[in-house]
Amino acid sequence: MAHTCLLLAMNPAIQQKAYQEVQQFIETENSYIDADILRKLVYIEAVLKESMRLLPVGSLISRKNLQDIVLDGHIIPKNTPLLMKPYSLHRRPDIWGSDAEQFVPERFLGEDSKRRHPYAFIPFSGGPRGCIGLRYAMMTLKIMLALILKNFEISTQLKYRDLRIHYQLSLNLAGPHAVSLERRR
């Protein structure tokens, strides 16, 4: 959520579009947000996914192959530890386009998102070993973001080009998120 708020603060036009969607479906700050409303918040979901694409919380995913794998003519023997780095996968121009480094939530809307390989976007891992909390996490994040946008405008002095990543168990910024919240009137 912190990464999403920072990216929205850096992109006021996208923040405004997300806020307009929230305004359309959530009438008051005390409105009950049910599953029907969550389904309607498609742009909010796209914003969250794009945030997780650029700044995925999980910095490394490790697996061990259960059988030999032939990959590009090379044999990877059974029981080899394999590491995947979502940060790099999520920035590949051959998958995400020449603007892969930019924050563009629309890439998760429409036909492009349906044609993309299902494992091109793995912020919660994927396949049989994927995170079982994915749906719960997305529902929670959508509610949190909708309520933040409903009540606050987010701003920052930070520039995207100046962000530095610090890899730990999770992906973090090397410096503070430094966002400001101003109550909407």
In 3D, which of 58, 10, 21, 56 has the Cα closest to residue 145?
A: 21
Find the range with the poorest average confidence among 25-34, 90-99, 101-110.
25-34
pLDDT band at 157 (very low <50, low <70, confident <90, very high): very high
In this prediction, residue 29 carries a pLDDT of 74
Residues in the chain: 185
Distances in whole angstroms, Cα of residue 106 to Cα of each of 8, 10, 54, 144, 169: 14, 16, 14, 20, 29
pTM, two decimal places = 0.91
Specify the amino acid at residue 55.
Answer: L
**pLDDT over 80 at 168, yes or no:** no
CA distances from 30 to 23, 27, 33, 145, 147 (A): 13, 8, 9, 14, 9
- Residue pair 50/76 in contact (Cβ under 8 Å)? The answer is no
Tell me if residue 41 falls in helix, strand or coil. coil
**Given this model, what pLDDT does residue 131 score?**
81
CB atoms within 10 A of CB 41: 22
Q: Are 22 and 151 in contact (CB under 8 A)?
A: no
Is residue 142 pLDDT above 90, yes or no?
A: yes
The predicted-structure confidence for 47-87, as pLDDT tens digits, reads as follows 999 999 999 988 788 889 999 999 999 999 999 999 889 99
pLDDT digits 0-9 by tens, 116-132: 998 999 988 887 777 88
The reply, when asked if residue 5 is annotated as ligand binding, is no
As a whole-number percent, the residues of the chain with pLDDT over 70 amount to 100
pLDDT higher than threshold 90 for residue 113:
no
The pLDDT of residue 58 is 83
Can you give the residue ranges of every domain in the chain?
A: 1-58+103-183
